Amino acid sequence: MLSVRRFSMCVLRSLRLHLKKIAVILLAVQLLFITVYVQNRHLSITDGNWKSFTTPFFQSPTDTTKNDTYATFDLRSKDSVTRLYDKMNFDTSGEWIDTYTLKNNLLTMKMGSDKGQVLDSVDELRYYDNDPRLVWSVVLDHLLASDSNDYAFSWYDWANFDSLNKLIALKDTNISCQFLCEGAFDKNVMQRVENEVQEPLFVTNRNKYDEPLWYNRARKGFDSNSVQQIVNDHCKSNDAYSNGTPFELPFVISEIYEKLRPEVYDLHARNHLLYSNTTPLSLTVLNSDKDAYRIDLKKTDSSKSNIVQSNLLQDYMQRHRKEMVNGDLIFNHTSIFEKFLRHKSTKKRKLDIAGLDKTIFAKEYLDLSPSDFCFDVKAKIAELETRLRSESLSLHDTCYLQSLQTSIRTAPALQKKYFAEASDVTDATADGHHRDKRFFSIGHNLLNDPQEFEARLSSLIRTFQKFTKANGLISWLSHGTLYGYLYDGLKFPWDVDHDLQMPIKHLHYLSQYFNQSLILEDPREGNGRYLLDVGSSITVRVHGNGENNIDARFIDIDSGIYIDITGLSVSSDAAKQYMSKFVEEEESSEKTFPALIDDYDYDENDNFDEVDGREDLAKYTINELKEWVDSHPDDFTNAESSQVTKTYKKELHISGGDSPEKGLSPKQRYLVNEKYNLYNCRNQHFSSLKILSPLRNTMFNGVSAFVPNRPITSLNNEYKVPPKYGFLTFQGRVYLPEFRYWFSFADMKKFGNLQLREPKITRLESPLNDLKFSDIKLLLTNIVQCDFHSIFASLFNSFDSTIYRLKELEIQYDLRLSEEEKSHLLGMLRHGMSKNIKSPEKDPIIYIYERKLWEHVEKLLNASVLYNIASKVENDKIKAFVELSQKVFERNLESFQLLDRDNNDAVIDLNSKGLNLFGDNKKTSNDIFGSDQKY
Ligand SMILES: *[C@@H]1O[C@H](CO)[C@@H](O)[C@H](O)[C@H]1NC(C)=O
Ligand SMILES: *[C@@H]1O[C@H](CO)[C@@H](O)[C@H](O)[C@H]1NC(C)=O
Ligand SMILES: *[C@@H]1O[C@H](CO)[C@@H](O)[C@H](O)[C@H]1NC(C)=O
Ligand SMILES: *[C@@H]1O[C@H](CO)[C@@H](O)[C@H](O)[C@H]1NC(C)=O
Ligand SMILES: *[C@@H]1O[C@H](CO)[C@@H](O)[C@H](O)[C@H]1NC(C)=O
């Protein structure tokens, strides 16, 4: 099982590399390559036994007799185990499976020699599991009780420290800096740690350490001198640590060293985070997607202000002592959250940002204007400086003002890279290139469990979209994210991040009000918590030395996974050749774009905002800067002058390139781009007002989102979108419209038993591009039988999202419908269905919580019992999926019968509206993506 998953993840990773770097071509070929590349791998099919997902190490025999300390319900009863399996895989709501209580969750020791013991008081706690229910309850209750704004942030309460807790919990085993500064763990130390805590130190690939060959290879090259050097440079002893000091480790990682295996990096980086001085400026709390509230944070030593160290927990218990029953107390975070929302002091926290319109998602369209793509930095600085003289600025405003002042002095050729990725982590499957360096973590089993991975990515985008909607911020799906959306309203399964664009004006709103804020999802809906981080050279709008292509990131603090956000604006970068046809179309002129430029009589006295606002070296053109650097060699480092030379050469290149703007000066290019509404990000992806505007309101990943007015055009500027909607193949992936899902072909061969290698699996006889309705059931059954449980869960949970997109496509691309009819039907679909779309993935924190319970169950119950429980749950879901598909097939799905708000709420059946892409998906006439449609 494991090997199968890992195999498909490898395929995934190599695919993604290609996808990211190259403009890839989606090939709508028929099934030719099925017979081509045949793997010799053979899958063993589960034979009435449950295959444990993770390797059980500490399966001590006592585990089966001890009463479990993990849940408030009986983990041996079939009913509760059934409920757990069902909830863990198919319930994507924000609901918890049990109730957080003082005794069971907080005071019962989950590891170490005192495992199972219940502490007498919270004063005895030396560590605790991060649980949103505890933190929300205590922090919000504190704010309401004190009616003040003096909450001191601690990473320990808002990020996950499960892995580091295993080291914090140690009483007898000595660990030193060295343990976290070697490329792979020292097995002897690791075993001492594990023996003491009675838990594996980590789950992902833990069994590798038991293979001598692997271990020796992983440890090769760590001589004591080089390790000592790393220790000296990156780690220091912790004075606060003395025997038994709670929440402390004997050493502090002062700076992250990256060339480590993922499991070492995890503990190393978590230690660094725990003791980090850099904390968020504020918390931003979401009330669903409706409103956002601001909690300011007091500056203190974040490593010493968790809710126990700061007494917030003790105060909480004091206030709630009357609710105690037998010394136990329930922490009902949703009830406190609702109290918080209703409380009068909360009104003052509500964010209503002048200039932003919270109703933008109410309509089907959103018109953008050219002014959204320009930003007057000088005016903004002047405004903030004036305010600073008359009143004190908020922390956010102060940080933003300082950032602008620095940025306007930053020459594009000399900008320093702002974001740091964990690129040097020494295992390719950890994908350090796509993880923030500070927050990198392997989670529970992130590298081997696609369900955990997808849950993180889904929570990330859902929280971001709710955040933008609650504040009226404008952004839209772009690049690979938009491409994935096109087919099924989800990202491509092989994509490891999300890409969004915003107009520069809104990037500035984002910076001023949310840079360095920790954005928190409504705890009734999920437990997303993400750091919004905007780069330090926001006023640089050209490519320059190419160090800062990404403007901002929305970062998962428990994995380092992020959304890439780029701002679009008018700049002096030379427009790409592909923009010519849009300008010509737009101008409806016989003339080519270069001819139009020749005719354009620009006034050299026009504003050149890009440079006018700048100071120091940033005022110079690259040619002037080059001259300056050449004549003042002592003022610049070698690296700086070579950056300048590199940027200078790029500028020379423009004159020889194919840009319609070649031969123009930077200022002239700026003026041409401005005149023709051509906008670009710092990675020189160009778009235009008419391609983007009006933005279309739609659903992505089950939440509201905007997409460009002309998505196909926008994508074709970067990729080559095949015209067909239907059966598709794409480098080892197959899209089956019957499931609205991209399967890995390697997996498909197994669960379709296409090579007749699986004696127990019914072979799929129909060609993949010509499935019969009955094949849906057959394939689902096989998927589950072949142990692809996470794929089945994904299919099942994304049904609502993908079926929504299907109906949207059927309406948008039906040539028989007029623009008005389409708009009317799309509005009905959105208003009628959007509220009820189930999240396509689990909340990651709830998922891991349940996953751990399940791993515990795996130790308590035998494999055949578990197999039967899982089968029963999954068979019910297969049945439900097939029934729903049948309704879609017959165009009889209840959720498409919607009220017509324009017509006295008469019911209109959307089933019969639009194309029939589900029933007729084999038709070649489904070439709907040949060009953009008006709707
Ligand atoms: C386990 O729990 C059951 C019922 O809650 C109780 O009767 C039994 O004594 C407990 N066993 C141990 C070893 O604590
Ligand atoms: C741990 O280190 C301390 C100080 O170096 C030492 O006194 C103690 O004996 C060590 N304990 C073990 C179990 O090695
Ligand atoms: C927590 O509070 C909510 C809202 O008041 C309520 O619906 C729920 O039943 C409570 N949960 C528990 C476990 O008491
Ligand atoms: C965002 O915050 C970081 C950290 O304080 C700062 O370096 C950066 O300049 C800020 N960016 C903006 C646009 O304010
Ligand atoms: C598993 O447990 C069931 C029910 O308790 C029992 O009937 C079965 O024999 C057990 N199977 C194995 C392989 O131990």
| Rounded mean pLDDT, 577-596 | 93
- Predicted local confidence at residue 220, as pLDDT: 86
pLDDT in tens, 320-332: 999 999 999 999 9
Query: Could you tell me the pLDDT band of residue 156, with boundaries at 50, 70 and 90?
Result: very high
243 lines ligand 2 (CB under 6 A): no
- Predicted local confidence at residue 71, as pLDDT: 57
Query: φ and ψ at 728, to 5 degrees?
Result: -140, 150
Q: Which of 276, 536, 565, 682 to mutate to test the pocket of ligand 4 (most atoms within 8 A of CB)?
A: 536
- Predicted local confidence at residue 28, as pLDDT: 35
Side chain identity, residue 484: G
The C-alpha R_g of the chain, in whole angstroms, comes to: 29
| Rounded mean pLDDT, 453-468 | 98
- Predicted local confidence at residue 920, as pLDDT: 73
Q: What percent of the chain has pLDDT over 90?
A: 81
912 near 891, Cβ under 8 Å? yes
- Predicted local confidence at residue 196, as pLDDT: 96
Ranges 27-36, 74-83, 555-564, 790-799: which has the least confidence: 27-36
- Predicted local confidence at residue 610, as pLDDT: 84
Closest CA to 403 of 608, 540, 569, 560: 540
4 near 443, Cβ under 8 Å? no
Q: Where are the alpha helices (DSSP H) in 250-301?
A: 262-274
- CB atoms under 10 Å from CB of 835, counted, come to 7
pLDDT in tens, 510-548: 999 999 999 999 999 999 999 999 999 999 999 999 999
From residue 516, alpha-carbon distances to 166, 273, 402, 535, 554 in Å are 29, 15, 14, 10, 10
Residue 53 has pLDDT above 90, yes or no: no
- State the pairing for strand pair 552-556/562-568: antiparallel
Ligand with the closest atom to the CA of 861: 5
How far is residue 742's CA from residue 745's CA, in Å, rounded to a whole number? 9
174 lines ligand 2 (CB under 6 A): yes
- State the pairing for strand pair 552-556/476-477: unpaired
- Predicted local confidence at residue 810, as pLDDT: 96
Residue 729 has pLDDT above 90, yes or no: yes
865 lines ligand 4 (CB under 6 A): no
Residue 127 has pLDDT above 70, yes or no: yes
387 near 506, Cβ under 8 Å? no
Residue 44 has pLDDT above 90, yes or no: no
Residue 51 has pLDDT above 80, yes or no: no
Residue 132 has pLDDT above 90, yes or no: yes
242 lines ligand 2 (CB under 6 A): no
End-to-end CA distance of the chain: 46
CA torsion 695-701-703-704 (nearest 10°) is: 0
Strand locations in 407-511 (E): 476-477, 498-503
User: What does DSSP assign to residue 531?
Assistant: E
Residue 276 has pLDDT above 50, yes or no: yes
Residue 40 has pLDDT above 50, yes or no: no
Residue 588 has pLDDT above 90, yes or no: no
Average pLDDT of the chain?
90
Name the residue at shortest CA distance from atom 14 of ligand 4: 400
Residue 207 has pLDDT above 60, yes or no: yes
Residues lining ligand 5, Cβ inside 6 A: 862, 864-865
Side chain identity, residue 90: F
- Predicted local confidence at residue 8, as pLDDT: 35
Ligand with the closest atom to the CA of 78: 5
Q: What percent of the chain has pLDDT over 70?
A: 92
How far is residue 135's CA from residue 157's CA, in Å, rounded to a whole number? 6
Closest CA to 572 of 609, 527, 624: 609
DSSP-assigned states of every residue in 388-405: HHHSPPPHHHHHHHHHHH
pLDDT in tens, 474-486: 999 999 999 999 9
How far is residue 128's CA from residue 108's CA, in Å, rounded to a whole number? 10
- Predicted local confidence at residue 113, as pLDDT: 87
Name the residue at shortest CA distance from atom 1 of ligand 2: 174
Query: Could you tell me the pLDDT band of residue 69, with boundaries at 50, 70 and 90?
Result: low
Which atom from ligand 5 is nearest to the alpha carbon of 862? 1
- Predicted local confidence at residue 58, as pLDDT: 42
Ligand 5: centre distance to CA 864 (Å): 7
726 near 737, Cβ under 8 Å? yes
- Predicted local confidence at residue 27, as pLDDT: 36
- Predicted local confidence at residue 759, as pLDDT: 87
| Three-state secondary structure call for residue 610 | helix
- Predicted local confidence at residue 14, as pLDDT: 39
DSSP-assigned states of every residue in 764-780: P-S-GGG--THHHHHHH
Residue 4 has pLDDT above 70, yes or no: no
Q: Which residues contact 821 (CB under 8 A, 6 or more apart)?
A: none
Ranges 15-29, 76-90, 100-114, 896-910: which has the least confidence: 15-29
**CA dihedral (796, 800, 801, 803) positive or negative:** positive
Name the residue at shortest CA distance from atom 6 of ligand 2: 174
Residue 36 has pLDDT above 60, yes or no: no
Ligand 4: centre distance to CA 512 (Å): 9
Query: Could you tell me the pLDDT band of residue 854, with boundaries at 50, 70 and 90?
Result: very high
Q: Which of 73, 329, 332 to mutate to test the pocket of ligand 3 (most atoms within 8 A of CB)?
A: 332
Name the residue at shortest CA distance from atom 13 of ligand 3: 99
Ligand 2: centre distance to CA 189 (Å): 13
268 near 256, Cβ under 8 Å? yes
Higher pLDDT, 870 or 147: 870
- Predicted local confidence at residue 471, as pLDDT: 98
How far is residue 529's CA from residue 284's CA, in Å, rounded to a whole number? 9
403 lines ligand 4 (CB under 6 A): yes
Ligand 5: centre distance to CA 858 (Å): 13
- Predicted local confidence at residue 576, as pLDDT: 96
Residues lining ligand 3, Cβ inside 6 A: 99, 330, 332, 334-335, 338
User: What does DSSP assign to residue 181?
Assistant: S
- CB atoms under 10 Å from CB of 529, counted, come to 23
Strand locations in 521-646 (E): 529-534, 552-556, 562-568
Q: Which of 534, 539, 551 to mutate to test the pocket of ligand 4 (most atoms within 8 A of CB)?
A: 534
pLDDT in tens, 751-785: 999 998 888 899 999 999 999 999 999 999 999 99
